[in-house]
Chain A
Amino acid sequence: MAFEHVNIVGLILIFLFIFIFFYFLYKNKRNPNLYIRKILGIDAISDVCDYAGETGRPVSFCTGLSSVGPVLYASLGVLSFVAKKAGTFKNRLLIPQYTPEVMAIVEESVQEAYESINRGSLFDKKDIRFLSDEQFAYASGYIGMIKRERACATFLFGTFAAESLILAEAGQEVGAVQVGATISPEQVAFFIASCDYTLIGEELFAASSYLTRKPLEITSIYTQDKVKLFIFFIIIIGSVIATINQIYPDLNLHNLDYFLTIEI
């Protein structure tokens, strides 16, 4: 039987990955002391919230063009942390929205975060604003909002495209302290240039675990590191085979990608 989009080896790898995830989840269920290295950008999130508390000006949290998916869920963990801090210091938390589906989820998360610190009355639905589902109209709305409200801190967490620099520069113009995080390598460069702190790629996913220290979230980081280690070894083996093939072409060894062509 030939599978679509994947072969039997690919499927085995997927199930192996799922197995590793549940194995470590079970093993570390009650162990919140797994080590995560210090990440400056994530430490800055708390500091930036504290700074906003001192100034009393609004804080903005932008999920960019994120749709419902892993990137949004990773950002929601940070949003929840920021909402709790904003609630504690009584800062307004402005959340511009690009898709209505995301808006509904964000609303729920923020309300829950406020209620968890007994500041439910501070939650204002009007601060979660649907701007537009058109990329540049959204960017334009964001600029207007940041400038009118004079946000003192902005968080740019999620999926971004060409508008990333427009959003980051709008924050710069009002002198906001900015933390940017995205998985797109192209937009990371813009954030590095325009934001005060930048989380690169997977650090976005680590941020929520780092801040909350929940066993489940820390286990996720632990698991993905194990999988990355496994892939790292695969890359090394593949590179060695490719080098041998280059030096001794007569050997004509099958490289690892051969396994991805096997059908049963």
Chain B
Amino acid sequence: MNIKKLLIKTFTFIGGLYFFLEFVMPESVFDFDKYHESISNAFITMSCMAVGLGIINLMVLHLDRIVYKKKDYFFSLTLLLSLFITLVILSLDWYQNEKIVSKANKFLTLSKFSEVILDDEKAKNSKVLAVNIRNQKLISELEKDINLIDKNSININEAKERELKEVLERVEKSKDNIKKDYHSTKYNLNLSKRLRNLSIVYREYLQYKNKDSLIKKLYLICFDGFFNPLVMSMFSLLGFYVATAAFKAFKIKSFESFLMMLSALIVILGQVPFGVKIWNGFPSLRLWLLSVPSTGAFRAITLGAFIAGLVMALRMWFSLEGHEKGGKN
């Protein structure tokens, strides 16, 4: 066995064992949560790399068509243009959101700083600077950040904006209390809570203000204007296809198809008021068909499939697969 294969088999086994133990072991025996986030992040990273593979595949296939002007190359061009435009709009929207979050998170950081000052004071931590110096620094940073908020543009007639104004006033009050005596930590907890609240309200306010920006509008055109209607159109096709499939399924070609047709007829008649008019036993017959034979068949299929899936999972876990299933590399 070459080293590459051995490595893959070892990692597959360890991975399977980890997820099995993580699922069944109680927290008191082993705290998996400590490692779970890092492991999940590793999986996310791998998935991101796989997305790159998908994009490369799209590019290779469609650029080839466009460059050589093959049949229907216009569709390939449309696809790549849509991909590029969506990518640009999404990136800009993401950047804009990141800016908003970072602006709002400044208050969250200050809130944490205020808490740390209080904790250090309680624990009489001598390794840090004196309380008054830290409080002064906290307040000066807070003033800088508050000054960045354009208070004149806050419209108090709007609920979101009025809320921000009120929260800001409360923060100012706590800040003034600390300013009166930098040596005291009496108001630090209060300031911390209010800053946390301000961070949330300020983020919502910025997002609210951002809704009229060009990027947000383009984003909405992309998704609400194009993407969602297209998805819904595809989904609505299903209605027509169900009708054609039913037409084919209801052709009585054998005894089995006769039974299927009969069951479907009973279920339909049991569902509509017209069926009750014909015979009032249809609803209960329909219910019996759905809850007894149909459920039995459903469970049998599901049970069989899950047992087979479990055997397949064991084969994967212990790397007992042949070459045809991606075993070579």
User: Does A4 contact B312, Cβ atoms closer than 8 Å?
Assistant: no
B299-320 vs A, CB cutoff 8 Å, 1 = contact: the mask equals: 0111111011111111110001
> Once bound together, how far apart are the Cα atoms of A133 and B83, in whole Å?
13
> Once bound together, how far apart are the Cα atoms of A228 and B304, in whole Å?
7
Answer whether A231 and B303 are a contact pair too, CB < 8 Å, given A2-B26, A80-B324, A100-B54. Answer: yes
Interface size class of A (residues with CB under 8 A): 35 or more
Q: Is B60 an interface residue (CB 8 A)?
A: yes
User: Does A128 contact B57, Cβ atoms closer than 8 Å?
Assistant: yes
> Once bound together, how far apart are the Cα atoms of A169 and B24, in whole Å?
43
Q: Is A245 an interface residue (CB 8 A)?
A: no
Q: Which residues of A contact B54 (CB under 8 A)?
A: 97, 99-100, 103, 130, 133
User: Does A103 contact B53, Cβ atoms closer than 8 Å?
Assistant: yes
- Per DSSP, chain B at the interface is helix
- Per DSSP, chain A at the interface is helix
Residue from the list B51, B60, B309 in contact with A183, Cβ < 8 A: B309
> Once bound together, how far apart are the Cα atoms of A259 and B309, in whole Å?
24
Closest to A136 in B: B234
Give B115 Cβ to nearest chain A Cβ, in Å: 33
> Once bound together, how far apart are the Cα atoms of A69 and B325, in whole Å?
12
> Once bound together, how far apart are the Cα atoms of A206 and B311, in whole Å?
11
Q: Is B23 an interface residue (CB 8 A)?
A: yes
> Once bound together, how far apart are the Cα atoms of A47 and B58, in whole Å?
33
Q: Which residues of A contact B308 (CB under 8 A)?
A: 70, 74, 201-202, 204-206, 220-221, 224
User: Does A74 contact B50, Cβ atoms closer than 8 Å?
Assistant: no
Q: Which residues of B contact A231 (CB under 8 A)?
A: 303, 307
Which chain A residues (53-73) contact chain B, with CB distance < 8 Å? Answer: 69-71, 73
User: Does B324 contact A193, Cβ atoms closer than 8 Å?
Assistant: no
Q: Is A88 an interface residue (CB 8 A)?
A: no
Q: Is A242 an interface residue (CB 8 A)?
A: no
Q: Is B39 an interface residue (CB 8 A)?
A: no
Q: Give the contact stretch, choosing among A35-43, A104-112, A150-158, A247-255.
A: A104-112
A178-222 vs B, CB cutoff 8 Å, 1 = contact: the mask equals: 000001010010101110000011101110000010101000110
Interface size class of B (residues with CB under 8 A): 35 or more
User: Does B303 contact A205, Cβ atoms closer than 8 Å?
Assistant: no
User: Does B328 contact A112, Cβ atoms closer than 8 Å?
Assistant: yes
Closest to B231 in A: A136
Q: Which residues of A contact B126 (CB under 8 A)?
A: none
Closest to A98 in B: B54
> Once bound together, how far apart are the Cα atoms of A144 and B312, in whole Å?
33
> Once bound together, how far apart are the Cα atoms of A139 and B27, in whole Å?
43
> Once bound together, how far apart are the Cα atoms of A218 and B302, in whole Å?
21
Residue from the list B29, B245, B320 in contact with A190, Cβ < 8 A: B245
Q: Is B326 an interface residue (CB 8 A)?
A: yes
> Once bound together, how far apart are the Cα atoms of A231 and B306, in whole Å?
12
Q: Is A160 an interface residue (CB 8 A)?
A: no
5 closest Cβ contacts across the A-B interface? A100-B54, A80-B324, A70-B312, A205-B308, A183-B305
Chain B interface (Cβ within 8 Å of chain A)?
Answer: 23-29, 46-47, 50-54, 57-58, 60-61, 64, 72, 75, 230-231, 234-235, 237-238, 241-242, 244-246, 248-249, 297-298, 300-305, 307-316, 320-326, 328-329
Given contacts A71-B309, A100-B51, A103-B54, 6 further A-B contacts (CB under 8 A): A1-B26, A70-B309, A129-B61, A130-B58, A185-B297, A193-B246
Q: List 6 A-B contacts (CB under 8 A).
A: A21-B311, A76-B325, A100-B50, A201-B304, A202-B304, A224-B310
